[in-house]
Structure 1
Amino acid sequence: MLSIEREPVVAGTFYSSDPDELIHQLKECFVEQQLRVSHRVSALVVPHAGYVYSGTVAASAYALIDQDAKYDNIFLIGSSHHLTFNGASVYNKGHYKTPLGVVPVNIQLANQLIEQSKNIVFNPYAHSEEHTLEVQLPFLQYRMRNLTQIVPIVIGVKKYSDCQYIASVLKPYFNHKNLFVFSTDLSHYPNDEVATRLDKQTVDLICKNNPDELIEMLNDQHCEDGVLTKLCGWSSVLTLMYLTEGKDHYKYEKVRYMNSGEASGNKKRVVGYQSVLVEDKECTVESVSQYEKDYLLREANYAIQTSFGIEIEKPDIECDIETGINSAFVSIYVNGELRGCLGRYNVSCSLPELVKDLALAAVFEDKRFKEIDASELDGLSIEISLLTPMKKIHSIEEIVLGKHGVYLKLGHKKGTFLPQVADKTAWNLEQFLGHLARDKAHIGWNGWQKAELYIFEAIIFSS
């Protein structure tokens, strides 16, 4: 296939065409941003105007991305400003270029989307002059150390149902492995007072994550004087909302708002800009980032070392981990030998506090093992198992050994085996349950047959 690199078309107008000047421009956009990083970014909503007008708003969203985050793909999705066509167009002929270099396109995935989807095509005119996606790339190049490949999609539809279809095609990719960036500006071109009021109403609707309510607003033909549109990239935003509709674990959060009047000084005719963060709070085995795992291990090690009077550098910044996880086990090993393992379920404290408490308890309170002394700390390692919410089962056929841990309860007696027990023992299912019932719950080998059984998964990581 002939490679046709997509050349920048708004470099020199929307942003600088000189690489050094562009870096300075981006640095200025990011300098105002708060020092906060989210490790659960599923999607961002960002504006697409010239950097002098909306650059700080866009940067406020991109600043939330961990600089060292590694995504398989970054889906860039915007609405066409120049033409209307059925469905959406994905660029599959080459790579995108900016003054900062080439950004690779996942051409294989682009081809796959085209082959599998009746309303996703390659329309060269959708990309040739469109700035919506282009202006996002320097932000990604500046912010991300591991920028891999993008999937550039321009939506041309004017029908709500097509947005729903596009969302259905993209849904298999809307997960922790990929980042989605949707672009829109807000009201065009009321005065500052009207824009601020209308834009708040629009963004509040978006953050409610209810596509029907947004469509109702879009269908409302009443516009105040001077308002050309309330949401220029409505098809992109609606596609996002169809991706997250009905899933409470996706949380929308307004990040920053401003309008062009703040930069231009003209408050009589403005365009509104808002950045929005969409985080995935669902607890799955993929939902805890490597940064969060490393942080928890550092916290546990700090608690253990300082309890022995060892001076050690405290973890640099606090990490607000919102996983929905409130159950965990911590195992302590010395030179590879298990020397303590304790867990707690459904606690109300924060996850870092839970892990620190369990680390100390495993070292000092697990009486099944020989007490650890300070001379053994050099050979100490920590294994943390974070437990996903438990699910009651009605048949042991629902248990997948090696994947599921099992919690057993009969009256006041209970016991737990973590998923890794099956891997370490090579027991079959009946042996796994028999040992759990007899050795942990003390209800006899066949006691599991009368007990309540719950399964869970564990996010397991170690130092």
Structure 2
Amino acid sequence: LDAALQALLDKVKLPSLEGRVLAVIAPHAGLPYSGGTAAWSFAALARARPERVFLLGPSHRAPIRGIALPEVDAFATPLGNLPVDREECARLLRLGKGSLFFLDQAVHDGEHSLEMETIFLAKVLPGVTIVPGVVGDLTLEEARRTGKILREELGPKDAVVISSDFTHWGANYGYWGNPPFHDRVEENLARLDRQAWEAVRTLDPAKFLAFYRKTGDTICGRYPIAVLLAALPPGTRAVRLHYETSGRITGDWTSSVSYQALAFLGEGWKKEKTMPDYSQGPLNEEEKALARKIAWKAVELWVKEGRRLDPTKAGLEPKGALLKTLACFVTLKKRGQLRGCIGSIYPSRPLWKDLVERAVDAAAHDPRFEPVRPDELPDLSLEISVLTPLKKVSGPEEIVVGRDGVVLTKGFHRAVFLPQVAPEQGWDRDTMLSFLARKAGLPPDAWKEGCTFETFQAQVF
């Protein structure tokens, strides 16, 4: 495989590319068919030397809406593993407001559109971190929203790879063009594929999807492409690097698939922060990994055996920030939907002890849910929020949505929202406070008078 990929890359003669390669579109058929075209995309990508790649491809088999994220730590290839940025996946789940992004490993297990790109990534960018998403159907508005989310997440060391073949023509695919054509196939396919390229080149997802609706062109990755066009920053320009068809490769024009290598160039992804970044907290990467293991083992042991975890006996000796007196919340989700969330507002014990207790509480003692069953464990994901100390604020005007968690108190009524709740639900400050008042057992407008507010931030992972 390594030799085959190298032979394909050796044939690439890239033109001068002005600007940084922000993204590429690459085909995903078998190497004898589309490998020569894909090599052009990945040779261009290699020039940018990204440290992280957002990899999006279409869902060929699972009928889904939105974008399915994986539940694994890495993608394995014969050329080495590509680690998955699980924290970024967790952020996308929050930012997607519970609908655009969801966890579904089964969708990934049966999908080839990303796997065909991972071998090229492992070849030209060994060990690069990936954020993989399998994209289902999207409306134009959903594509725009998703693109905006990605644009805000992408930074100067990131790149995007979109996996897509272009026209699937002939009896094998039930498509003969619109209007149909049955002769001069190579010429007519080239014309149709150039029209598709021109639609992509507008960098406008509305115009691209309008082309699709008008022609019915069987571009399998049309929705990932629309998301990319919505995400690209101003000043981006598109370049067509290579074009090929399976009909020309095989000499069989009864059916043919088209492949295009497209690159998108610009100054760079400039991370757009709409609010300060409070993701850096007391735990370093090693400590966060240990915290996740402790919390998950605590859930697993309680659900399966009804026993509380002793981390030291389990080979998970607490250290560093886990020995500090800190408060935390543990959130469990089942395929992206809330399954339990319990936490401490005030720090009263070492963080590792709070993790064990709150993990068990989230699994077994959240009054909104039945206790987690053993058969549910494979479908669960776990999120930890380590809280900063509470700070009393003078009123709602000091609360920043997305940055601040909020504790509302009025008399004997009290309720708390974590910082990520409002962005997940798409709430502004006033809407968030109305729901918080209701959670405290008060009328929705009770927050406007007689309440006290405390805020905190959280390191979420």
TM-score relative to the length of structure 2: 0.52
In structure 1, which of residues 186, 190, 195 is the aligned counterpart of residue 189 of structure 2? 195
In structure 2, which of residues 128, 131, 147 is the aligned counterpart of residue 151 of structure 1? 131
Is 1:94 the equivalent of 2:76?
A: no
Q: What corresponds to 1:60 in structure 2?
A: 40
Is 1:240 the equivalent of 2:220?
A: no
CA distance in 1, matches of 2:145, 2:103: 17
Q: Deviations over 1:8-66 (max 9, x none)?
A: xxxxxxxxxxxxxx012102211210155756010001111111111111101111134
In structure 2, which of residues 238, 246, 269 is the aligned counterpart of residue 260 of structure 1? 246
SS, match of residue 133 in structure 2: strand
Q: Do the aligned partners of residues 183 and 266 (structure 1) sit closer, same or farther apart at CA in structure 2, a change above 3 Å counting?
A: same
Q: How does 1:1-400 map to 2 (within 5 A)?
A: 22-35=1-14, 38=17, 40-66=20-46, 69-71=49-51, 73-117=52-96, 118-119=98-99, 120-145=101-126, 147-190=127-170, 191-220=185-214, 222=215, 229-244=217-232, 247-281=233-267
Q: Are the aligned partners of 1:67 and 1:144 in contact in 2 as well (CA < 8 Å)? A: no
CA distance in 1, matches of 2:261, 2:50: 22
Q: How does 1:416-431 map to 2 (within 5 A)?
A: none
The code of the aligned residue for 2:69 comes to: V
Q: Do the aligned partners of residues 66 and 164 (structure 1) sit closer, same or farther apart at CA in structure 2, a change above 3 Å counting?
A: same
CA distance in 2, matches of 1:77, 1:37: 26
Q: Do the aligned partners of residues 216 and 24 (structure 1) sit closer, same or farther apart at CA in structure 2, a change above 3 Å counting?
A: same
Q: Do the aligned partners of residues 282 and 152 (structure 1) sit closer, same or farther apart at CA in structure 2, a change above 3 Å counting?
A: closer
CA distance in 2, matches of 1:283, 1:171: 7
Alpha-carbon shift at residue 123 of structure 1 (Å): 1.3
- Using the TM superposition, name which of 27-36 and 57-66 deviates more: 27-36
SS, match of residue 189 in structure 1: strand
Q: Are the aligned partners of 2:56 and 2:132 in contact in 1 as well (CA < 8 Å)? A: yes
Q: Which has the higher contact order (CA 8 A, sep 6+)?
A: 2
Q: Do the aligned partners of residues 68 and 195 (structure 1) sit closer, same or farther apart at CA in structure 2, a change above 3 Å counting?
A: closer
CA distance in 1, matches of 2:250, 2:10: 20
Q: How many residues align?
A: 255
Q: Do the aligned partners of residues 189 and 35 (structure 1) sit closer, same or farther apart at CA in structure 2, a change above 3 Å counting?
A: closer
Q: What corresponds to 1:400 in structure 2?
A: none
Q: Do the aligned partners of residues 37 and 69 (structure 1) sit closer, same or farther apart at CA in structure 2, a change above 3 Å counting?
A: farther
Q: Are the aligned partners of 1:192 and 1:270 in contact in 2 as well (CA < 8 Å)? A: no
CA distance in 2, matches of 1:194, 1:68: 35
SS, match of residue 65 in structure 1: helix
CA distance in 2, matches of 1:283, 1:158: 24
The code of the aligned residue for 1:159 comes to: T
Q: Give the unaligned 5+ runs of structure 1.
A: 1-21, 224-228, 286-463
Q: Give the unaligned 5+ runs of structure 2.
A: 171-184, 272-461
Q: Are the aligned partners of 1:92 and 1:105 in contact in 2 as well (CA < 8 Å)? A: no
Bigger Rg, structure 1 or 2? 1
CA distance in 2, matches of 1:100, 1:64: 20
Q: Deviations over 1:297-351 (max 9, x none)?
A: xxxxxxxxxxxxxxxxxxxxxxxxxxxxxxxxxxxxxxxxxxxxxxxxxxxxxxx
Q: Are the aligned partners of 1:47 and 1:54 in contact in 2 as well (CA < 8 Å)? A: yes
SS, match of residue 76 in structure 2: strand
Alpha-carbon shift at residue 271 of structure 1 (Å): 0.4
Alpha-carbon shift at residue 277 of structure 1 (Å): 0.5
SS, match of residue 238 in structure 1: helix
Q: What corresponds to 1:437 in structure 2?
A: none
The code of the aligned residue for 2:70 comes to: Y
TM-score relative to the length of structure 1: 0.52
Q: Are the aligned partners of 1:174 and 1:243 in contact in 2 as well (CA < 8 Å)? A: no
CA distance in 1, matches of 2:28, 2:255: 18
SS, match of residue 253 in structure 1: strand
- Using the TM superposition, name which of 35-44 and 173-182 deviates more: 35-44
Q: Do the aligned partners of residues 37 and 154 (structure 1) sit closer, same or farther apart at CA in structure 2, a change above 3 Å counting?
A: farther
SS, match of residue 254 in structure 2: coil
CA distance in 1, matches of 2:139, 2:117: 25
The code of the aligned residue for 1:240 comes to: L
Percent identity, aligned pairs only? 25
RMSD: 2.4
